[in-house]
Structure 1
């Protein structure tokens, strides 16, 4: 099978990258009849690229940390494509950054048809943890040999076609970092929530959940600090302003990020015209996302992110939001313009036309957003 590298990571010389890619493919060819050859032009069955953010496949990267790479399964519209996040600190054979050999071997497993496994210490685990030397677990080996068979005594120039396996709803798999014990969304009361870059993020303690098109993405929950270095250990409120800046609040301070780069903070919220008390929630509201509301202590303020000041230092009462409880934990707006207000493990859906909460609410966050079994 021919493979081709389109672009290279800036930290590593091309010759080392080529050797590492060859070694990552050899992990699989050693236990199957498959053979791989690099080509530098023309058609290739495996196309490797180091790219950034939005890059044409509707699966944007997120800067340093978080999502490291993704690949497309056989018999999908981009089969054979393997994308690495250019903004990672790629290394080879050490834990000073992200080890290219381990991530590449994992992604090549997906290109060949393997899905993630729940078996610990497997190469096809959805979480990146540096291990050296690289090796396949018995589960990895059995999976790839189920698809392609065992090595032939004499190499077969025509690799066998992979056995049919059911493919997941998403035709790509992403690998991300993991550490520590992660909270369970089915039993969590979230601290904050926001729509950021068109995706829905829920925050609890140090962790963040990421939903794309209503589906929780692989590798989440993850540490929020992997997206936003220097973010406080927990977040009281967050929103993305019309300029694309991401604001985080904790206690009586706030931080501003441009993507994953911190622009400012911590800064006292009194400089925004707010009282020196914790912000409970923030809501970006309206078709043009032109209105920002900040909630605290049963009151709310309209906030102007361009001037970085509230419109009036005197707040209004939560009673304006008919049907919404006076104390809330988080708020966000969906793509249809509905607002969602969270308190504890429940949420209220707010109609922008009727200007009140819809009938049938509150409902459980865990059930509707994370497909958990309803709790009594």
Structure 2
């Protein structure tokens, strides 16, 4: 039986579904090695939604009568409550209708959409094709059409944004909340927001797959809530699978709202497929392989943790490590991620606001994701000497301390004021066991600092405030699984 329309307050609450694990409240970063993940959308008004709907859903989120099952198996799932399962004999003739409607639908079938901003990891052309493909899974089974516009008003507005962005539903940086969307007939119908700080990928499970998340969110924008039918696109559980397709439940739900596709009485002849155009986004390096550094026999210009991943820089190349593993296709040109970056960098770091800083000689650049927002700017504006910066370290449990290293000295830097705290530096003697001159530095997720010089690195304990025993060790061996160098001297 179709769910009756919700009151306006409930529609507003339901419009921003979020699917965080039901318990515990403490948020952890997702484990990409697991097969099942929750759709992490947003709904801080979950409790008000439960009251408005009045479903009497048990606290674990399982249907009435499933408490015993919940105690045995309670996987991560959407925090939005399901409709209760009706006992046999109550509305039995409609029991097979599993799809759930939001209570709203578009009054037209020809919809326009516009992409305001793009994720920094992917080029715009590929994002546009992916969004088009995500919408196509719905238009293939309905009379709906979707046309991209780049100027003026649009029915569906897609944005990759971060933290507070104007709808009182802030994103939270890498991990956690991924996206949210507004239902038809709500005050922001058609808005779809993706967290800019996620690791967006296409066609693999190494990050957050944009195609599947976008298709799911577009289901909400068109008027569908979550379904209890497993393996449906509108299921609250995210399962990476290809090719992307609708389940019968998804199909029945969207066709209940908009009907079946119209038959074309005079189909046009099939046009020959255009040859695929080469992507600008590529991890392949062409015509420069001969000068590519050997990762097992090189030092590095800079190293930094950016968006939760570790980036090693050498000349114009970058190596990218996620969860300690080198990603396929790397090294790549650093300019693939940051257009206009210098041909080589001396140091880099990501500040607490998510801005990425690069230093080269007596200048610095600032990027917001892939977009340059400042630079080149003289180092003197930061209160630093004109001599090149050798390394930058984001330090502390809150990652709110930034240290700049140069010429055997270091400064503490405030990214909010964009000034060093004191124009007079301190000496490297404060970092017991660390070499006087270093090439790069970074902090890991456990709070340890790493200092690199040449092909070696030193691991610094923040509790004992000194380098751990057994260091230095080889960078190539521990980070890139290279065979230990036979001519290494200590």
Instruction: Give the TM-score, by structure 2 length.
Output: 0.45
User: How big is the shift at 1:65?
Assistant: 22
Task: Name the CA shift for 1:43/1:225 in 2 (closer, same or farther; >3 Å).
Answer: closer
8 A contact 2:357–2:365 mirrored in 1: yes
Q: 1:57 to 1:221 in 2, by over 3 A?
A: farther
Matched pairs, number: 376
Change (3 A) 1:66 1:248: farther
In the TM superposition, residue 74 of structure 1 has moved relative to its aligned partner by 35
* Distance of 2:150 and 2:173 partners within structure 1: 27
* Cα distance in 2 between the residues matched to 1:4 and 1:269: 39
Against the structure 1 CA distance between its residues 134 and 300, is the aligned structure 2 distance closer, same or farther, given a 3 Å change threshold?
A: same
Taking structure 1 as reference, are residues 6 and 205 closer, same or farther at Cα in structure 2, changes over 3 Å only? closer
Do 1:238 and 1:248's aligned partners in 2 also have CA atoms closer than 8 Å?
yes
Pick closer, same or farther for the CA change 1:128–1:32 going to 2, 3 Å.
same
Within 5 Å, which residues of 2 pair with 1:140-155? none
**Residue 180 to residue 102, structure 1, CA distance change in 2 (3 Å):** farther
**Of the candidates 175, 180, 196, which is equivalent to residue 65 of structure 1?**
175
- 2:380 is paired with a residue of what secondary structure? helix
Q: Is the 8 A contact 1:64 1:226 kept in 2?
A: no
Deviation at 1:324, TM superposition (A): 0.0
For 2:286 and 2:238, locate their aligned partners in 1 and report how far apart those are by CA, in whole Å.
6
Distance of aligned partners of 1:180 and 1:47 in 2 relative to their CA distance in 1, 3 Å threshold: farther
Distance in 1 (CA, whole Å) between partners of 2:289 and 2:409 is 38
Contact residue 72 and residue 111 of structure 1 kept, 8 A: yes
CA deviations on 1:306-358 (whole Å, 9 max, x unpaired) are 00000000000000000000000000000000000000000000000000000
Contact 1:146 1:163 in 2 (8 A): no
Q: Partners in 2 of 1:128 and 1:180 — Cα distance?
A: 42
Aligned CA distance change for structure 1 residues 310 and 107 (closer, same or farther; 3 Å): closer
8 Å contact 1:67–1:176 — kept in the other structure?
A: no
2:174/2:307 contact within 8 Å kept:
no
Contact 1:128–1:177 under 8 Å retained in 2? no
Residues 312 and 26 of structure 1: CA distance in aligned 2, closer, same or farther (over 3 Å): closer
What is the CA-CA distance between 1:183 and the residue it aligns to?
Answer: 1.8
Kindly indicate whether the alpha-carbon contact (under 8 Å) linking 1:65 and 1:226 is maintained by their aligned counterparts in 2: no
Q: Which 5+ residue runs of structure 1 have no aligned equivalent?
A: none
Which sits farther off after the overlay, 275-284 or 149-158?
149-158
In structure 1, what is the equivalent of residue 343 of structure 2?
Answer: 233
Query: Which of 123, 133, 136 is 1:13 aligned to?
Result: 123
Post-superposition offset of 1:156: 30
1:223-262 aligned at under 5 Å gives the runs 223-262=333-372
Is 2:312 the partner of 1:181?
Answer: no
Residue 358 of structure 1 corresponds to 468
The Cα offsets for residues 101-154 of structure 1, whole Å up to 9 and x where unpaired, read as 999999999999999999999999999999999999999999999999999999
Structure 2: distance between partners of 1:129 and 1:302 = 44
- The alpha-carbon distance between structure 1 residues 249 and 80, as it changes in their structure 2 partners (threshold 3 A), is same
Structure 1 residues 64 and 348: CA distance shift in structure 2, 3 A = closer
Change in Cα spacing, 1:327 to 1:46, as seen in structure 2 (3 Å) is same
1:285 aligns with 2:395: yes
Residues 333 and 46 of structure 1, relative CA distance in 2, 3 Å threshold: same
SS at match of 1:180: helix
Distance 1:283 1:36, change over 3 A: closer
Q: Contact between 1:252 and 1:277, CA under 8 Å: does it hold in 2?
A: yes
Equivalent residues in 2 for 1:1-376 (5 A)?
181-376=291-486
Cα distance, 1:120–1:97 mapped onto 2, change above 3 Å: same
Residue 182 of structure 1, CA deviation? 2.4
SS in structure 2 of the partner of residue 246 of structure 1: strand
The SS at the match of 1:175 is coil
Partner-residue secondary structure (3-state), 2:296: helix
- The 8 Å contact of residues 148 and 160 in structure 1, kept in 2 or not, is answered as no
What secondary structure sits across from 1:173 in the alignment? coil
Q: Deviations over 1:39-78 (max 9, x none)?
A: 9999999999999999999999999999999999999999
| Mean Cα deviation higher: 129-138 or 11-20 | 129-138
In 2: Cα distance, 1:113 partner to 1:375 partner? 61
Q: CA deviation at 1:2?
A: 25
In structure 1, C-alpha distance between the alignment counterparts of 2:258 and 2:270, rounded to whole Å: 6
CA shift, 1:184, in A, is 1.7
Q: Distance in 1 between matches of 2:439 and 2:156?
A: 46
Deviates more, 1:166-175 or 1:270-279: 166-175
Question: How many Å separate the matches in 1 of 2:410 and 2:123?
Answer: 54
Contact 2:316 2:343 in 1 (8 A): yes
* Aligned-residue offset at 1:188: 1.3
| CA distance 1:284–1:18, change in 2 (3 Å) | closer
The structure with more strand, counted as a fraction of residues? 1
Cα offset for 1:261? Answer: 0.5
TM-score (norm 1): 0.57
Once the two structures are TM-superposed, the CA of residue 371 in structure 1 deviates from its matched residue by 0.2
Q: Conserved in 2, the CA contact under 8 Å of 1:175 and 1:218?
A: no
When residues 145 and 167 of structure 1 are mapped into structure 2, their CA distance, relative to the original with a 3 A threshold, is farther
More displaced stretch, 5-14 vs 336-345: 5-14
Counterparts in 2 of 1:126 and 1:272: CA distance versus 1, 3 Å: farther
Check 1:259–1:48 CA distance in 2 against 1; reply closer, same or farther (3 A cut).
Answer: closer
Separation in structure 1 between the aligned mates of residue 193 and residue 456 of structure 2, nearest angstrom: 38
